[in-house]
Amino acid sequence: MSKVVQRLVCHQLVAYLEQHDLLPCLQSAYRRFHSTETSILKLECDALLAANLGSVTLLGLLDLSAAFDTVDDHILINRLQSTFRIHGTVLKWVTSFIANRTQTVKFAGQQSTIVTVMCRVLQEVF
């Protein structure tokens, strides 16, 4: 049931962000009709336009595949408030969903100590 609710909230949140023009125009993640293909086509178009003007295009690629796998809970909540103007009941709901979470591991009859989760995989939140 939790995954169903998450998916519904995600759709409503993205609709709100699009309706209020709060997403960067070049952001492709979590947007309808945007993908990595969209990003690559934009990059290719920019390079071809620069070439037509006689400019040189330098492309530096960094492998950041794991750099954005997790997000700090406090940063997420602050960003939702400041950048995306999410307040009130919605912010309280998101905060209650991610705040004060703990985890432990049980293996071969042994259980680790309980630790507070300070950051999480973003897909887990939305």
Which one-letter DSSP state was computed for residue 69? S
pTM > 0.75: yes or no:
no
What is the mean pLDDT of the segment spanning 63-89? 81
CB contact at 8 A, 87 and 98: no
Question: What stretch of H or E contains 71?
Answer: strand 70-72
What is the mean pLDDT of the segment spanning 26-41? 80
Q: Is the pLDDT reported for residue 124 higher than 70?
A: no
Domain spans of the chain, in order of start: 1-61, 62-126
- Poorest-pLDDT segment among 22-31, 60-69, 75-84, 108-117: 60-69
Residue 38 is encoded by which pair of tokens? 């969209």
Q: What per-residue confidence (pLDDT) applies to 32?
A: 77
Lookup result for tokens 């609710």: 5
Give the pLDDT band of residue 125 (cuts 50, 70, 90): very low
